[in-house]
């Protein structure tokens, strides 16, 4: 389905991004991985997926520009890299706020602005932004993340309108809780912020949000991303797809 397509998936050395990269590669796309990790593990992933790799730090706009130059034209851009920090607003470290905004929101602006001219020239493109249920609803102690993800949803709608007549779609996928390192790593801070045990955080904070009482699977998010890359999804743009076990239905 994607044999002649080149796909850059940011933050694809782990979690949701890796699942999306696997799904696109399985359909024949030439995938470019990005993200951090051990050299040997990344080399193995490149082998497995027939992918290439660019390890740019997406908090740095100059590094993003260098990556986009090195990577060359892409048909599919998945802005997926993200991070979280959990703390009450009065204790929220300003440097964490800046980092979360830079990675979860501003990086998508830079990759998009640099990818769009090539997509326009070829009259085809797919931009998929991994937002979050937190692009649609808030939770306490996640001020930077919720602000960034709401911003990403607004950015996506705006570029969808700008690109609508160019054969380029732009959509958000908004997962609920998916069991990845990003979720696992926020458990200790959430325990501290809420005075809870680990089990209480999993059951009373994370899964409490999801009527299904199940974590969403990375492969399910990837299947939705793959659908959005297909021709049948050519009429879908500016949408924000929740895949959150019913969280934002409440």
Nearer to ligand NAD by Cβ, of 38 and 90: the residue is 38
To the nearest whole angstrom, how small is the minimum distance from the Cβ of residue 238 to ligand NAD? 19
Site residues for ligand NAD, 120-159, by CB under 6 A, read: 130, 132
Nearer to ligand NAD, 35 or 151 (CB): 35
3-state SS string for the chain: CCCCCEEEECCCCCHHHHHHHHHHHHCCCEEEEECCCCHHHHHHHHHHHCCEEECCCCCCHHHHHHHHHHHCCCCEEEECCCCCCCCCHHHCCHHHHHHHHHHHHHHHHHHHHHHHHHHHHHCCEEEEEECCHHHCCCCCCCHHHHHHHHHHHHHHHHHHHHHHHHCEEEEEEEECCECCHHHHHHHHHHHHHHCCCHHHHHHHHHHHHCCCCCCECHHHHHHHHHHHHCHHHCCCCCCEEEECCCHHHC
Q: Tell me which of 2, 86, 115, 175 binds ligand NAD, using CB under 6 A.
A: 175
Residues 64-83 interacting with ligand NAD (rule: CB under 6 A): 80-83
In this chain, which stretch among 53-61, 86-94, 189-197, 231-239 interacts with ligand NAD, using CB under 6 A? 53-61
Q: Between residue 176 and residue 195, which ones bind ligand NAD under the rule CB under 6 A?
A: 177-178, 180-183
> Interface residues with ligand NAD (CB under 6 A)?
11-17, 34-37, 57-59, 80-83, 103-104, 130, 132, 175, 177-178, 180-183
């Amino acid at each position: 389905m994607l044999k002649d397509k080149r796909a850059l998936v940011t933050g694809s050395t782990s979690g949701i991004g890796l699942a999306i990269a696997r799904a696109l590669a399985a359909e024949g796309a030439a995938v470019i991985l990005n993200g951090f990790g051990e050299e040997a593990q990344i080399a193995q992933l490149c082998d497995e997926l027939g992918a290439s790799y660019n390890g740019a730090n997406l908090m740095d706009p100059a590094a993003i520009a260098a990556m986009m130059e090195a990577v060359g034209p892409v048909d599919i851009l998945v802005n997926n890299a993200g991070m979280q920090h959990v703390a009450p607003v009065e204790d929220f470290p300003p440097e964490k706020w800046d980092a979360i905004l830079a990675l979860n929101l501003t990086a998508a602006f830079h990759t998009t602005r640099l990818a769009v001219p090539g997509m326009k020239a070829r009259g085809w493109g797919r931009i998929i932004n991994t937002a979050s249920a937190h692009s649609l609803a808030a939770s306490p102690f996640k001020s930077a993340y919720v602000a960034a993800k709401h911003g990403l949803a607004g950015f996506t709608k705006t570029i969808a309108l700008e690109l609508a007549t160019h054969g380029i779609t732009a959509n958000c996928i908004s997962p609920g809780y998916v069991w990845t390192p990003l979720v696992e790593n926020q458990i200790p801070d959430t325990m501290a912020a809420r005075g809870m045990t680990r089990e209480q955080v999993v059951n009373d904070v994370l899964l409490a949000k999801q009527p299904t009482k199940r974590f969403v699977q990375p492969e399910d998010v990837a299947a939705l991303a793959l659908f959005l890359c297909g021709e049948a999804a050519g009429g879908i743009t500016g949408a924000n797809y929740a895949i959150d076990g019913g969280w934002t239905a409440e």
